[in-house]
Amino acid sequence: MLSTIKYPVSLLLVTMLGVSLAGCANTENQSAAAEPSNEEIHQLLLASFKTKGQAKLERVNQTELQKACSVAETAAGGLPDAKRTELQNAALAAVKYPADGKYLGDWKAGEKLAQSGKGFQFNDKEGSTAGGNCYACHQLAPQELAYGNIGPSLYQYGKLRGNSEEIMKYTWAKIWNSHAYNACSNMPRFGAEGILTETQLKDVMALLMSPESPVNK
Amino acid sequence: MRHTVNAATRRVFAILLGTAASALFTMNAFAQKTTEQGIQEYRDMLADGNPAELIELRGEDLWTKPQGPKNASLEQCDVGMGPGKLEGAVAQMPRFFSDAGKVMDIETRLVHCMVTLQGRDVAEITKKPFSSDGEKPSELESLVAYVYAASRGATIKVPQSHPEERAARARGEKIFFYRAGPYDFSCASCHATDDQRIRLQGLPNLTKPEPAQAAFGAWPAYRVSQGAVRSMQWRMYDCFRQQRFPELKYGSQASIDLITYLGVKAEGGTMQATSLKR
């Protein structure tokens, strides 16, 4: 239900076919260009970027998952099923659940985090608190109309699912590392990458799960 | 509009847009389309007095002014149509230049001309290509505005006849899908699906011709909120900032390849040069 893959593969193929037909004025020429390797692109990016502030040049080096997902997006057939399973299992196995077993913090603090898009940009102060920027991609509290739609609506998230241990654990893992359930999800790995602290993750969890949260009103 | 745009005028523009946008904000849940419409109306309203015209004039002065160790102007600069011929030129860039042996976008080509014709130093020219808030437009921003003005209304046709041009496009496509950094983002994270938005900001699907035409044709743009002309190089630079990447170098190979990928996709579109954006 939380998968960010919105369209069936068949629709994607039709779309891609449409693009290639519409762009046929150039296809004849394009076919002559050799396919650049991922490593060639990596080297090109190392030469095209420079460190600025906290954004070090090393950021253009890919993790195994980033590489697999990048290559899959332009490859016929996309990500192979075996690779998908391997990546998801590795992500899920590395999730750290709250040490005290408590999942929910303060939904009001969570709402503030959901509103903030700060953090990790080269113009953000190094070590400053990052936001979760949830509203950039998701609908949450109905009072906030300026929400994006890259991810699914999370309005009434907890109300619709209840707060069983199973749902708590799933939601925590999804925020910790979204790739645990969808190998090439567009959502950042808020826990695994250290974007949010454990306390902040609990606050965001409360925004989603707490009966008092405006999300569940 | 031929009089000086000062900071106060810029503020008025910003307030007007802000008011229009926030009024639309509260109207209904289908705020995206409504906001887009509001901004379009605002653009139409200002179409006769785009502040970018002032920067174009400044660019024209810089184009004709002798400068550098060689005390030469840029009037003999060849941007692909022959020395000094600007009409429709940027609608067919990036392109391969045999004198440089590489594919260049307009901004890289302008820097090339400043070096070869005027004898100036690359590091000095590209030290601060983008103006900061409240600063005068940079030399490159002004020249960009001037050069693009000669392509207003021209049809986009970025060439793919030279092998280097095809290689640039092919690399650009790979870079577009290259995920990296602490947030795992690529260009495609935001620009490869229809009808997506961040908050209320619409995100064009740049893998499709029509949105690519609109995007390629819309840069450079006068950004009302910043009171500045922002170029295609700036657009790439600032997207990567939000992607949490390091800083994209001005005129880097990655920037040229991405602009080529977008430009080829945008074939048949119309250059607005210079458009007006929030």
- Residue-wise pLDDT for A38-87, tens only, equals 999 999 999 999 999 999 999 999 999 999 999 999 888 999 999 999 99
Average pLDDT over chain A reads: 89
The CA distance from A91 to the nearest CA of chain B, in Å, is: 14
Provide the CATH number for the domain around residue A178. 1.10.760.10
What pLDDT is stored for residue B134 in this prediction? 85
Q: Mean per-residue pLDDT for B58-73?
A: 98
* CA neighbor of B40 nearest in space, from B198, B233, B214: B214
Query: Rounded to whole angstroms, how far apart are CA atoms B193 and A140?
Result: 22
Query: Rounded to whole angstroms, how far apart are CA atoms B85 and A21?
Result: 34
Coil, strand or helix at B38: helix
What pLDDT is stored for residue B10 in this prediction? 47
What pLDDT is stored for residue B32 in this prediction? 53
Report yes or no on A166 lying in a domain: yes
Report yes or no on A35 lying in a domain: no
Distance of CA A6 to the CA centre of its chain: 14
Which tokens belong to B131? Answer: 């103006």
Nearest 10 degrees: Cα torsion B4, B5, B8, B13: 150
* CA neighbor of A51 nearest in space, from A60, A63, A64, A62: A60
Report yes or no on A20 lying in a domain: no
Coil, strand or helix at A38: helix
- Scan for tokens 């390797």, then name that residue: A37
Put simply, the answer to whether B246 touches A30 (Cβ < 8 Å) is no
Name the closest residue on chain B to residue A20, using Cα atoms: B208
CB-closest option in B167, B177, B182 to A195: B182
Put simply, the answer to whether A33 touches B169 (Cβ < 8 Å) is yes
Average pLDDT over chain B reads: 89
- Residue-wise pLDDT for B26-45, tens only, equals 444 445 556 667 767 776 77
- Scan for tokens 């969890």, then name that residue: A205
Structure confidence at residue A34 as a pLDDT band (50, 70, 90): confident
* CA neighbor of A54 nearest in space, from A1, A133, A126: A126
Report yes or no on A171 lying in a domain: yes
Residue B239 designated active-site: yes
- Residue-number span of the structural domain to which A160 is assigned: 40-217
- Residue-wise pLDDT for B135-193, tens only, equals 999 999 999 999 999 999 999 999 999 999 999 999 999 999 999 999 999 999 999 99
Query: Rounded to whole angstroms, how far apart are CA atoms B167 and B177?
Result: 16
Q: How far is CA A66 from CA A175, A184, B181, B253, in A?
A: 17, 8, 9, 22
Domain count, chain A: 1
Name the closest residue on chain A to residue B246, using Cα atoms: A55
What percent of chain A shows pLDDT beyond 90? Answer: 80
**Which domains does chain B possess?**
7-277 (1.10.760.10)
Q: Mean per-residue pLDDT for A169-176?
A: 98
Q: How far is CA A61 from CA A88, B123, B172, B226, B275, in A?
A: 21, 26, 17, 32, 35
Chain A residues whose CB is inside 8 A of the B203 CB are 150
Please write down the long-range contacts of B200-206, taking CB distance under 8 Å and 24 or more positions apart: B200/A146, B200/A148, B200/B25, B200/B31, B200/B32, B200/B35, B201/A148, B202/B32, B202/B36, B203/A150, B206/B176, B206/B262, B206/B265
In this predicted complex, what is the ipTM? 0.86
What pLDDT is stored for residue B47 in this prediction? 65
pTM of the model: 0.86
The CA distance from B57 to the nearest CA of chain A, in Å, is: 32
Residue-wise over B220-236: b if at least 16 C-beta within 10 A, else e? bbbbbebbbbbbbbbbb
Chain B residues whose CB is inside 8 A of the A21 CB are none
H-run or E-run covering A50: strand A49-50
Distance of CA A136 to the CA centre of its chain: 12
Q: How far is CA A59 from CA A82, B20, B154, in A?
A: 27, 39, 39
User: Helices (H) and strands (E) in chain B — how many of each?
Assistant: 11, 8
Chain B residues whose CB is inside 8 A of the A186 CB are 184-185, 189
Q: Is the pLDDT of residue B77 over 90?
A: yes
Cis upstream peptide for B274 (omega within 30°): yes
Q: Mean per-residue pLDDT for B205-213?
A: 98
Q: Is the pLDDT of residue B16 over 80?
A: no
Report yes or no on A21 lying in a domain: no
